[in-house]
Amino acid sequence: MMDSAGASSKRSDEKSLESGGHNHKNHFFHLVLRISLLFLAVVPACLVLYHSLNSFQFFPNSLYNPSASSQDSARGIISSLAKDDPALVRVLKEAAMTDKTVIITTLNEAWAAPNSIFELFIRSFGIGNQTQGLLNHLLVVALDQTAYARCLALHKYCYTLNTPDIDFSSEAHFMSTDYLKMMWRRIDFLRSVLDIGYNFIFTDNDIMWLRDPFPRFYPDADFQIACDHFYGDSFDLNNWPNGGFNYEKE
């Protein structure tokens, strides 16, 4: 026969077990809910990233052939920019440093007018701290004939980057269709520079060169890029990269 104290203890144990099971179920439910929410958040982001990395989707049909092999696509989308282009090979050789590094910027008609920011860009090399000699290694890549003529009036190393059926002379607003086409065209050109065997610093021409950046580069890194937001750690993937200034080694 169980006394009242024993019965009370038994009921307490049963409630404890019941409460423990209930808490376990709640914990499991919340765990599944968190995993589901994480899955719903990550999958769309991955899909956006996957499509944004498909660079060839931004080229017009005349430049992108979906039936071409991946090797042909990687070798060069536009035949006029083959890596053995004699004009490109020549100007790279003339502009390069002894370690085959060249500074590259792009220019179109919208940025080439007299008294434009491009002129300030050129002048910055002359007034910067130990940047005067770097101007001798600057290659200006003109995206149209007006920009090419303006480059020749101010600088000695100019190259015309022809793009069939596309006019890059106008201003392209950030993330517009023309802007994306221009960016992928630029990336393809820079890939060709690496294919030929040269290192490069790419710089937008709205960046003023007021000091020599080379002492601040990591000597053992093949790719370095500027950041819009830098959190103090060069290896932090949360830094926000900006393609307007980057250094790449062949």
Residue 211 reports pLDDT greater than 70: yes
| Percent of the chain predicted with pLDDT > 90 | 36
Residue 96: predicted pLDDT: 97
For residues 205-218, average pLDDT = 94
127-155 pLDDT, tens per residue?
A: 999 999 999 999 999 988 999 999 999 99
Residue 62: predicted pLDDT: 37
Confidence of residue 224 (pLDDT cuts 50, 70, 90): very high
Residue 100: predicted pLDDT: 96
Residue 108: predicted pLDDT: 85
Residue 158: predicted pLDDT: 96
Q: Which amino acid is present at 34?
A: R
The continuous run of DSSP H or E covering 245 comes out as strand 240-248
Confidence of residue 89 (pLDDT cuts 50, 70, 90): very high
Q: Which residues contact 28 (CB under 8 A, 6 or more apart)?
A: none
69-78 pLDDT, tens per residue?
A: 433 443 444 4
Nearest to 183 by CA among 88, 59, 68, 78: 59
- Angle (CA) 121-126-129 rounded to 5° is 100
4-54 pLDDT, tens per residue?
A: 555 555 555 555 545 555 555 555 555 555 555 555 444 444 444 444 444
By DSSP bridging, strand 240-248 and strand 223-229 are antiparallel
Q: What average pLDDT is seen over the chain?
A: 74
Residue 95: predicted pLDDT: 97
Residue 144: predicted pLDDT: 87
DSSP 17-57: HHHHHHHHHHHHHHHHHHHHHHHHHHHHHHHHHHHHH-GGG
d(CA 73, CA 192): 13
Positive or negative CA dihedral for 151, 152, 154, 157?
Answer: positive
For residues 193-219, average pLDDT = 94
The CA–CA distances, whole Å, from 234 to 160, 237, 249 equal 35, 8, 18
Place of tokens 């950046």: 213
Question: Is the backbone of residue 181 left (phi > 0), alpha (psi -120 to 50) or beta?
Answer: alpha
pTM score: 0.65
Residue 36: predicted pLDDT: 53
The continuous run of DSSP H or E covering 184 comes out as helix 177-196
d(CA 83, CA 92): 11
The one-character DSSP state at 4 is H
Residue 113: predicted pLDDT: 82
Nearest to 244 by CA among 163, 190, 164, 166: 190
- Angle (CA) 157-101-220 rounded to 5° is 160
Residue 176 reports pLDDT greater than 70: no
Q: Which amino acid is present at 81?
A: L
d(CA 18, CA 79): 74
d(CA 140, CA 157): 6
Residue 3: predicted pLDDT: 55
| Percent of the chain predicted with pLDDT > 70 | 58
